[in-house]
Structure 1
Amino acid sequence: MLTFVGLGLFDLKDISVKGLDAVRRAEYVYLESYTSRMMGSSVSEMEAVFGKEIVLLGREDVEQHPDEVIRRARDGDVVFLTGGDPMVSTTHADLRIRAAGMGVATSIIHASSIASAVCGLAGLQNYRFGKSCSVPFPAKSWFPTTPLETIRQNLALNLHTLVYLDIQPDRYMRVGEAIAIIERMAEILETPAPSLYVGIARAGSEHPHVAAGTGELLKSVDFGPPLHILVVPADLHPVEHEYLRTFAGL
């Protein structure tokens, strides 16, 4: 059995009781370490609480070389840990499809996800979100503008956009960096940059930071340590506007 277990948003206390039981029963425990990070807990802390050795997996391990995980799941109980909720990332869905294709039983134990947490922290109505996008760190000869194109398509439909920020082994994109990159995309496309943003830091922690305002304003805000995420809102419903005014300083 291959069981996908969500860890939740911030630290090891976010895992469900059901998920914790699955981890403690498993013969092997893997942790996908590239789509999200549990900033409130280290791997060694998780191992101490879970009572299990945790094997870290990078993108290439999961997307190109998942054979060991699937083989072990064919013969015993394997847990595949993910930050947030499993299957939000297509790479996790692909692994489940591969396992099923090889005759391996699978199951999912859900957890809190940033996709729903932003609605609670920002007060933006969940059914008003369009397609999400990701802003990567630019490379020397690579500066994609697709994220802003997605944002503009959503705004044309009066839909909010959840913007995931790049996570790399040695750095985490911050709200101000992401806004600056989006503004550069707007210059390249010769189109206006978004006029309103909502920045969120450390969702799921005891002290998340939420701030709303113009790009110029939020670039000057100290959101503190990662993880950060960004939202580009469409036209605000009166309740959404009041929520952001009350809890995000709009």
Structure 2
Amino acid sequence: MLYIIGLGLCDETDITVKGLNAIKSCERVYLESYTSILMISREKLEEFYDKKLILADREMVESQSDEILLNADVINVAFLVVDLVIRARELNISITIIHNSSIMNAIGECGLQLYNFGRTISIPFFTDIWKPDSFYDKIKENKNIKVKEQSNENLARGRKIYEPPRFMTVNQAIQQLLEIEEIHKKQVITPESLAIGIARLGSTTD
């Protein structure tokens, strides 16, 4: 079994009970060490988990994934990044993903609802010769997003009456993407396009 385990946002105690139990069951535990910066030392994590952690840098994840997945079909291995999921499935290795808190939900602590403000935008560091600014137009787009839906009648009459929330199915989303493609005809979305539909995220059932 390959476990993909979220550590949380701050220190060693942020891990879930389910995640901690999974780590303790593993023969090898890899600590992803290049996409985020831990607020504590690896030694402190090892002490709390009572497990030796193997640092996994970008080269290991991208070029040596077979080493990480070695024997994961018969023993438990833990990892903290999702890049290995597709490769593990190709090798018929069972996968369990154990979620944790992230900046995407913790940001609610500031009193704002992230969903109302459009897509998340990353602002890269400038250098002396490179100052990317693609985030600027995305911020402008976010400022123009409608956050509540009104019926056509209420919208036309200027009545501030909003529709109840609806849940879009994966099939509905795909159908709408294909309809828009049919209008624009730029081959952005085709019946052969790879897409991932997610529902009931965090649930143990489909």
TM-score (norm 1): 0.54
Other-structure match for 1:124: 112
Range 64-73 or range 13-22, more displaced: 64-73
Cα 1:10–1:149 shift into 2, 3 Å: same
* Stretches of 4+ aligned residues off by more than 3 angstroms: none
Larger radius of gyration: 2
Q: Does 1:136 align with 2:136?
A: no
Other-structure match for 1:155: 143
Partners in 2 of 1:148 and 1:65 — Cα distance? 37
Other-structure match for 2:192: none
Partners in 1 of 2:118 and 2:8 — Cα distance? 23
Other-structure match for 1:99: 88
Cα deviation 1:104-153 (Å, max 9, x = unaligned): 1101111111100001x211124313221222222343221122222222
TM-score (norm 2): 0.65
Other-structure match for 2:41: 42
Partners in 1 of 2:136 and 2:143 — Cα distance? 10
CA drift at 1:158: 5.2
Partners in 2 of 1:7 and 1:144 — Cα distance? 31
Residues 4 and 79 in structure 2, CA contact (< 8 A), matched pair in contact too: yes
Cα 1:96–1:154 shift into 2, 3 Å: same
Residues 5 and 80 in structure 2, CA contact (< 8 A), matched pair in contact too: yes
Q: Which runs of 5+ in 1 are unaligned?
A: 83-91, 160-250
Counterpart code for 1:67: D
1:4-153 matches, within 5 Å, as 4-39=4-39, 41-81=40-80, 92=82, 94-119=83-108, 121-153=109-141
Counterpart code for 2:70: R
Identity of aligned residues (%): 43
Partners in 2 of 1:101 and 1:151 — Cα distance? 39
Higher percent of residues as strand:
1
Residues 6 and 109 in structure 1, CA contact (< 8 A), matched pair in contact too: yes
